[in-house]
Structure 1
């Protein structure tokens, strides 16, 4: 799998950036790995320079502090789940859109509801406590593309202030 980022040359013409490697660079996560496709540390990102590409190159190599989305930015990633993997219960301070591209995943919510998502299905998470479980038949891997955007904080629901949280 190759990954490319576009930019502009000194004449203002569209070109491919040479600042980032095209080969994937996955980071281990519990039950799988995450490959950061892009990240920005401000929203909307400024494209007037290549500072966003430099920051992304750093995130791609070192991971994004705090998870998938910078606190004031955006991110896109491919998340791969090992056979039978179950994530920790977690909540992120981001608006996340997950699109399943391979396998079958269950999305569990703390209120007890569960949905089964297959390739082509998607889910938008709005700062909710959830976990993912790979239920792909025949010991298969599952993959999803994740798009995340920081949200306005504090997140206050039912008189409580919610924060990023991981429960093991």
Structure 2
């Protein structure tokens, strides 16, 4: 127990998914390259945990000689603690946010909120947004796929990546 009466944030009780990555052997046959349970990074101040699964750094992806595996890290699975408040931010990317467990509130900087449930998908187009878990007891899990995008310009103004209160705490999305 924390001194302010809140429970200490120790990370998600949801099972860590096993990541299976395929490749090819010397004869060109499909093989399992790796199977592992990635480790989560905890952000207690935001009541949020993130697990980097696989990242590519170019589009189209170069799979030759396992170049992508050598550069890998993204497609982010993130768990949100009960009553988490998140942070408003903008990534310079096209993001697919898929609710895997629980429910989550998507908040936009115009004040609009949308309640999303298991299986719902948000397509973030470099907008200022935040994620909040409205449940007081249940964790929520989202899977994020981020795709790099050209710099966004609205009415002649460049809208760069903005991590808000998570600047310096949460890693940048890539290009911004």
Q: Which TM-score tier does this pair reach, normalised by the shorter chain?
A: 0.7 to 0.9
1:97-149: CA deviation from partner (whole Å, max 9, x where unpaired): 1111111111111111110001111110000001111012x411100111110
User: Which of these residues, 128, 142, 145, is aligned with residue 144 of structure 1?
Assistant: 142
TM-fit CA distance, 1:158: 2.3
Matches within 5 A, 1:6-155: 6-18=22-34, 22-29=36-43, 30-56=46-72, 59=73, 75-136=74-135, 138-153=136-151, 155=152
Unaligned runs of 5+ in 1: 60-74
Spell out structure 1 runs of 4+ moving beyond 6 A.
none
TM-fit CA distance, 1:167: 2.0
Aligned counterpart, 2:19 = 3
Bigger fraction of residues in strand = 1
Unaligned runs of 5+ in 2: 1-16, 166-176
SS of 2:82's partner is coil
Report the Cα distance in structure 2 between the residues aligned to 1:25 and 1:44, rounded to whole angstroms: 27
What is the TM-score of this pair, normalised by structure 1?
Answer: 0.82
CA contact (8 A) 2:48 2:86 kept: no
TM-fit CA distance, 1:159: 2.3
Report the Cα distance in structure 1 between the residues aligned to 2:84 and 2:101, rounded to whole angstroms: 14
